[in-house]
Amino acid sequence: MGGVKTNVKVLGYTEDVKTDNCSTESITKRVYTILDHFQNAGRGTGIVTTARLTHATPAAAYAHTSQRNWENDKDMIKAGVTGDCTDIAYQLVNDNYDIQVAMGGGRRNFLPNTTFEPEYGRLGKRQDGIDLIERWKEMQSARNRSHQYVWNNQQFDSINPKTTDYVLGLFENSHMQYEVDRNRSLNGEPSISEMTGKAINILKRNTNGFFLMVEGGRIDHAHHDTKGALALEETLAFEEAILTALEMTDKRETLIIVTADHSHVFTIGGYNNRGNDILGLVDPFDAEPTLDGMPYTTLSYGNGPGTNFTAGRQNLSDIDTKSFDYVQQSAVPLKYETHSGEDVPIFASGPVSYLIHGVQEQHYVAHVMQYAACVGDYANDCDRQIETVQTCAAFHISYKNSILFISFLIFLVVS
């Protein structure tokens, strides 16, 4: 997000800030993100995620902390943190009230431990007694802004994007529900596609353009549980959000980037017959039988909870491997599956999308977005003149919008 590399678990700071070390944090070591640059240029900004709004990826767009897990002050107290550092939820409300749209999960991090949240009747986690949801409302009211806080579908549907300028949506106590489990009633929660559409309708009213980050965060969680079918279903929901963005924006002035920040140890194996179900058992057309005489699935994981190291490999002959609850078999027994280390794909559409090609370092992406929108390090580049071969004329480059889609997903590419 900031265009520089930093230390593990550190958000919004240079590598001079050490992980878990509040005393090394200082304003001089801060990194300004693509979201910051758009705000400084008077453009709209928004964040949509199916994870908690204070989780690592959304927080990377706005927060400054030496530990991504300090989502509320209780987390910091538990870690024995001393000093003037603040938690991520506090920063979102107190330091980033100019973000026009922020929608996701994580109500518990915004409510004090004396306040019951409305959906499940659970107490919040904050120890400082601050109701950050009420504070957000007060801060928007003090600035005479049209705003709305929402936590369910009925309230979400009531948002008028033509008259509402600022929205805070906290639809779950923790992460939002998986798409297959999502409550679609008035008391339920919107899909990632619906949140994306609402955000764009609000942000596109800014004639100077906007930045929107959309994260399909629950893809990652399904992979960590080695639930392949569930992860793929979340990916399809993520795809719907991308299609929504493509339909609602002008490709001539909107750069849309789709990528992942890591992959998973998720793989395809076996010599299947054409048309064999990707979620099913391997139906080999030219292969040796397994050494243990039992079938195996096309999809599997290198590690994770899908290993019984005492009883041996499970016979899958009568198992429904297409179920969203099915735990895929894995090679190394772990409580949770891990990320992996291969390069991940990145796709782009719109202005200067040609800069997204080949193999690039992660922090390069932020520079492409800055360059395309003429903000940040490239704020003066909108004055650049480019000569065209056909006419020898010059034209002015000014691209309005940038949408970054993030998913925690391994892309399976067959060539």
* Nearest one of 97, 109, 258 to 174, comparing CA atoms: 109
Residue 396, Cβ neighbours under 10 Å: how many?
9
pLDDT in tens, 9-32: 999 999 999 999 999 999 999 999
How far from 72 is each of 89, 129, 180, 202, CA to CA, in Å? 6, 12, 29, 28
* pLDDT value at 285 more than 70: no
The residue from 277, 308, 335 where one domain ends is: 335
Same domain, 140 and 219: yes
pLDDT in tens, 287-303: 778 888 899 999 999 99
123 neighbors 141 (Cβ within 8 angstroms): no
- DSSP notation for 220-241: HHHHHTT-HHHHHHHHHHHHHH
Same domain, 396 and 348: yes
pLDDT in tens, 374-414: 999 999 877 654 433 343 344 334 455 665 555 433 222 22
Arithmetic mean of pLDDT, 48-61: 97
- pLDDT at residue 116, rounded to an integer: 98
- pLDDT at residue 386, rounded to an integer: 45
Cite the annotated binding site for Zn(2+) by residue number: 220, 224, 261-262, 339
Percent pLDDT > 90 in the chain is 82
Same domain, 37 and 125: yes
- pLDDT at residue 291, rounded to an integer: 87
145 neighbors 154 (Cβ within 8 angstroms): no
How far from 400 is each of 91, 128, 154, 330, 369, CA to CA, in Å? 27, 40, 32, 45, 11
Buried b / exposed e across 302-316, counting CB within 10 Å, b at 16+?
bbbbbbeeeeeeeeb
Cite the annotated binding site by residue number: 55, 57, 215, 220, 224, 261-262, 339
Domain span at 140 = 22-265+341-407
* pLDDT value at 118 more than 90: yes
The residue from 308, 335, 362 where one domain ends is: 335
- pLDDT at residue 395, rounded to an integer: 36
Is residue 352 a part of any domain in this protein?
yes
Say how far apart CA 34 and CA 316 lie, in whole Å.
Answer: 48
* Nearest one of 193, 189, 106 to 155, comparing CA atoms: 189
User: Who wins on pLDDT, 135 or 395?
Assistant: 135
pLDDT in tens, 169-217: 999 999 999 999 999 999 999 999 999 999 999 999 999 999 999 999 9
- pLDDT at residue 309, rounded to an integer: 78
Same domain, 146 and 288: no
- pLDDT at residue 388, rounded to an integer: 37
Is residue 9 a part of any domain in this protein?
no
Percent pLDDT > 70 in the chain is 92
Listed in sequence order, the residues at least 6 apart from 280 whose beta carbon sits closer than 8 Å to its beta carbon are 297, 298, 321, 322
Average pLDDT value over all residues in the chain = 91
Number of domains the chain contains: 2
Is residue 10 a part of any domain in this protein?
no
The DSSP bridge partners found for residue 11 are: 65
* pLDDT value at 155 more than 90: yes
Say how far apart CA 147 and CA 227 lie, in whole Å.
Answer: 38
Q: How confident is the model at residue 284 (pLDDT cuts 50, 70, 90)?
A: confident
Give the CATH number for residue 132.
3.40.720.10
Q: At what angle do helices 192-203 and 228-248 cross, to 10 degrees?
A: 20
Is residue 7 a part of any domain in this protein?
no
Same domain, 201 and 311: no
User: Who wins on pLDDT, 88 or 379?
Assistant: 88
Same domain, 257 and 297: no
Cite the annotated binding site for Mg(2+) by residue number: 55, 57, 215
